[in-house]
Structure 1
């Protein structure tokens, strides 16, 4: 039995009812027709999937979306998604695609969503990139803590840009924030919001630097202490650090502009926002894949050794003399895969950015 399954069984499947907080507007979607399926199975090796493109479709007049940014699964098995439409920043689905609840009316830059259980209750951490803040809430929308601009904690100057894109919670409750659209540091706080340190050396191509530190997660796999996995999206890689900020290694994913790393059992999953046939030169807009090869996303899956084993929607992973070859979109199923959520049956739920206001897509494990 895996560690994740053991932890899942220890969760207490109740959450506290909020008496105060943001306006919460529950909606219940109308009966949906049978979801449309893509006519091919996608993926490679042991990781192949049937595509349910309309799994998450809802009534746009009631619960519209702009960008479906990220999704997590809570201890009740509900799928919780964050977006940047302030009519409903948070959508909560069951596994059939039925909408259970929606709330959130002020997160204009709703971008990152992490979940943490303290042993008795689930809590959400919402990154509002436009609001320059990270907000801890209950699963029904009551705000408990807000971490604002790092200048408030002596970490940045007031003039420094802060646009948080992701957060992760360490084993002791420490909060790690990826300033992916800002100064490109990882900021570490205690669970009570006290600033500890900056991790990395900001934007750049050095070993301790990031080119769009878009995501961060805690990796509990393997022996020894857990580590941080940090996205360097424009550099097509993940970088591994200790929890106190020391560089360990880099996992290269040529051609794939990966978003956050998502760990499930022994595997690592990530949405690829776009892919490129040529190398991107930092700061050169002409070489950016959004200008050269837009709408080119897929999903990538790595094993516990850091080897890519499947690219649903993308080219089959190939290694030559141990070196991973460039990966690009092969099938135009996705536009810009921004996140992947994995359920207990190892089905995937894919959120997309800039995809004509598309709802999440389900990939059913074959």
Structure 2
């Protein structure tokens, strides 16, 4: 079995690292439906278990075009990894970066607004979520912390009783397969979702195969999960969302699936039309999923050995879990294609923002040039 390291990458002695290559239509057709941003209610149905290792399908339901040069990055600023992105009620765009300026804020046209969080987070910033009241929830995996801030960066709430200290799960700090038991919050948590009733759900994480449920005021209400590949088990709960009915969706990244639960943790179904899902966003009646790529020689806990390179992408599904669009292309640094999609957001007009951990996944190994994109805006064409 392949070893999964501290950054979520698998090592392979037999296959050298190389650039991602595949083929995909570079533009996807869109229908006329145009509605405002709303929560999605995921419909129940039979378990889906199709093999996602095949070539990307020519799905032609939606169409997007990249907005080249969207971000007006201030002189002297850089973000080799953008771990996550979110939009607030005014469609301002919040980037959560592994850089000197962790939270960077932009208008939807790319104009720079400001930053906050300097000196607050580790260099493993991971997830950002904006609640209905525009509160900003930041998940710092190396800091073992999940915190709530005002839109201008004032700390409002810290979840858990041991923020900054990893819980005792048996995790050795570098290999996620060493997680021996489910533990209390947190051990390298990954993201947070706000339920319609205000409850907070946290995916936890690289070092703890659990989901934790908190009240809006931060009281721990319950937890579920353990390491494994069965229903209710996780190999890496990497992100989380809650639909309009209160059901909880968890990206089980290294098992190539999204699991769906009731709010109290009862398993309902899984969606397997995804590869290494890193984040899921529910909006406009659809499920938007960012997905990391696989390299030949790596091993999926669902599919086994990966025989060929599969690039990162964005997949859009309907409420039944049926794929309606896939976005990406053969060159990981081309506009509208992806090197390392790690998070995404959807604004009120249906435009996409995709955050990429380019440096962690490919840049530091020399697989892509250092100026490869780390945040992209994709405009929906109706």
TM-score (norm 2): 0.71
Instruction: Give CA deviations for 1:320-361 in whole Å, capped at 9, x if unaligned.
Output: xxxxxxxx9898821011112111221111111125463411
Name the SS of the counterpart of 1:234 in structure 2: helix
Note the C-alpha offset of 1:219: 1.1
Q: In 2, Cα distance between the equivalents of 1:49 and 1:283?
A: 30
Contact 1:298 1:329 in 2 (8 A): no
Q: In 2, Cα distance between the equivalents of 1:329 and 1:308?
A: 22
Alignment equivalent of 2:260, drawn from 237, 240, 250: 240
Change (3 A) 1:236 1:279: farther
Q: In 2, Cα distance between the equivalents of 1:137 and 1:249?
A: 33
Change (3 A) 1:246 1:158: closer
Note the C-alpha offset of 1:197: 1.2
Are positions 1:76 and 2:90 aligned together? yes
Note the C-alpha offset of 1:133: 0.3
Aligned partner of 2:363 in structure 1 is none
Aligned partner of 2:121 in structure 1 is 107
Q: In 2, Cα distance between the equivalents of 1:342 and 1:169?
A: 16
Change (3 A) 1:208 1:78: same
Are positions 1:271 and 2:290 aligned together? yes
Instruction: Give CA deviations for 1:153-202 in whole Å, capped at 9, x if unaligned.
Output: 9x9538667001100112222111101211110111111211111122x2
Matching of residues 223-262 of structure 1 within 5 Å: 225-253=245-273, 256-262=275-281
Alignment equivalent of 1:137, drawn from 138, 143, 149: 149
Note the C-alpha offset of 1:217: 0.4
Name the SS of the counterpart of 2:254 in structure 1: helix
Structure 1 gaps, min length 5: 8-42, 316-327
Contact 1:57 1:359 in 2 (8 A): no
Which shows bigger deviation, 67-76 or 142-151? 142-151
> With CA pairs under 8 Å and 6+ residues apart, which has the higher RCO, 1 or 2?
2
Contact 2:72 2:112 in 1 (8 A): no
Aligned partner of 2:240 in structure 1 is 216
Aligned partner of 1:340 in structure 2 is 344
Note the C-alpha offset of 1:59: 3.3
Count the aligned residue pairs: 303
Name the SS of the counterpart of 2:139 in structure 1: strand
Instruction: Give CA deviations for 1:59-113 in whole Å, capped at 9, x if unaligned.
Output: 351x32131111111111211111121x211111111111111111121121100
Change (3 A) 1:88 1:145: same
Structure 2 gaps, min length 5: 1-32, 40-57, 174-186, 360-369
Aligned partner of 1:307 in structure 2 is 322
Which shows bigger deviation, 185-194 or 125-134? 185-194
Q: In 1, Cα distance between the equivalents of 2:352 and 2:198?
A: 27
Matching of residues 180-191 of structure 1 within 5 Å: 180-191=205-216
Aligned partner of 1:49 in structure 2 is 64
Instruction: Give CA deviations for 1:278-300 in whole Å, capped at 9, x if unaligned.
Output: 8824499x9579xx748x21111
Superposed CA RMSD: 3.3
Change (3 A) 1:330 1:132: closer
Q: In 1, Cα distance between the equivalents of 2:215 and 2:34?
A: 28
Aligned partner of 2:196 in structure 1 is 171
Aligned partner of 2:138 in structure 1 is 126
Q: In 2, Cα distance between the equivalents of 1:171 and 1:70?
A: 22
Q: In 1, Cα distance between the equivalents of 2:355 and 2:257?
A: 20
Q: In 2, Cα distance between the equivalents of 1:359 and 1:306?
A: 28
Change (3 A) 1:212 1:193: same
Contact 1:151 1:158 in 2 (8 A): no
Change (3 A) 1:314 1:232: farther
Instruction: Give CA deviations for 1:235-271 in whole Å, capped at 9, x if unaligned.
Output: 11100000111000000025x1111110112100011
Change (3 A) 1:60 1:151: closer
Name the SS of the counterpart of 2:251 in structure 1: strand
Name the SS of the counterpart of 1:122 in structure 2: coil
TM-score (norm 1): 0.74
Q: In 2, Cα distance between the equivalents of 1:205 and 1:309?
A: 26
Change (3 A) 1:283 1:107: farther
Q: In 1, Cα distance between the equivalents of 2:64 and 2:112?
A: 23
